[in-house]
């Protein structure tokens, strides 16, 4: 959104660049490389790679892009939430797991200006596109079988960062210019 301005109006481009020039270094780094936190039953939230391998069915992800705060529920978590397990007393830990990213997101929303857009979505939901367009497509429909356990494949023609770096290395050491 700062360099590639396709599909942005000149006003949007000016707004994003103005925010980049006005904010401190930490906030600028969040704008350039968003932060992704993973919430699960195994322990406290932890930062994870901004990669498709981080999208797991039993995890909740919190994505902070400075302009958007997104809570993404994995497939299993979304099914449990739809079934209403969080309302049953014996699933109190599941209710706490659902509330933790919401509390963290509300803290960011209340302290940041301009106020980021708050998005709550799940695997396969229409708003999941905001997460999928930010992650590195290391697993796509071309290189992963459906239903793999290493994350969700992304339907894209973009190459992953690893493929790009390998191609760049080949070009930099080749004798042809």
Q: In this predicted structure, what is the pLDDT of residue 149?
A: 52
Q: In this predicted structure, what is the pLDDT of residue 162?
A: 84
Residue ranges for the chain with pLDDT beneath 50 = 146-148
Q: What is the pLDDT of residues 48-67, one digit of tens each?
A: 999 999 999 999 999 999 99
Q: In this predicted structure, what is the pLDDT of residue 138?
A: 83
Q: In this predicted structure, what is the pLDDT of residue 144?
A: 60
- Rounded Cα–Cα distance for residues 17 and 67 (Å): 12
Q: In this predicted structure, what is the pLDDT of residue 160?
A: 84
Helix (H, G, I), strand (E, B) or coil at 77: helix
pTM, two decimal places: 0.87
Which tokens hold the place of 152?
Answer: 């969700």
């Amino acid at each position: 959104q700062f360099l590639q301005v396709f599909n942005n109006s000149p006003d949007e481009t000016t707004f994003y660049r103005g925010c980049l020039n006005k904010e401190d270094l930490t906030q600028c780094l969040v704008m350039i490389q968003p932060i992704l936190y993973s919430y699960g039953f195994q322990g406290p939230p932890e930062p994870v790679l901004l990669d498709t391998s981080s999208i797991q069915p039993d995890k909740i992800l919190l994505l902070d892009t400075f302009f958007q705060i997104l809570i993404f529920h994995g497939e299993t978590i979304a099914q449990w939430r739809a079934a209403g397990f969080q309302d049953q007393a014996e699933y109190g830990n599941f209710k706490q797991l659902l509330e933790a990213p919401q509390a963290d997101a509300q803290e960011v929303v209340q302290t940041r200006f301009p106020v980021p857009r708050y998005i709550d979505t799940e695997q396969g939901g229409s708003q999941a596109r905001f997460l999928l367009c930010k992650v590195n497509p290391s697993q796509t429909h071309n290189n992963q079988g459906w239903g793999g356990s290493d994350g969700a494949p992304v339907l894209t023609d973009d190459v992953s960062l690893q493929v790009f770096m390998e191609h760049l290395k080949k070009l930099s050491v080749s004798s042809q210019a």
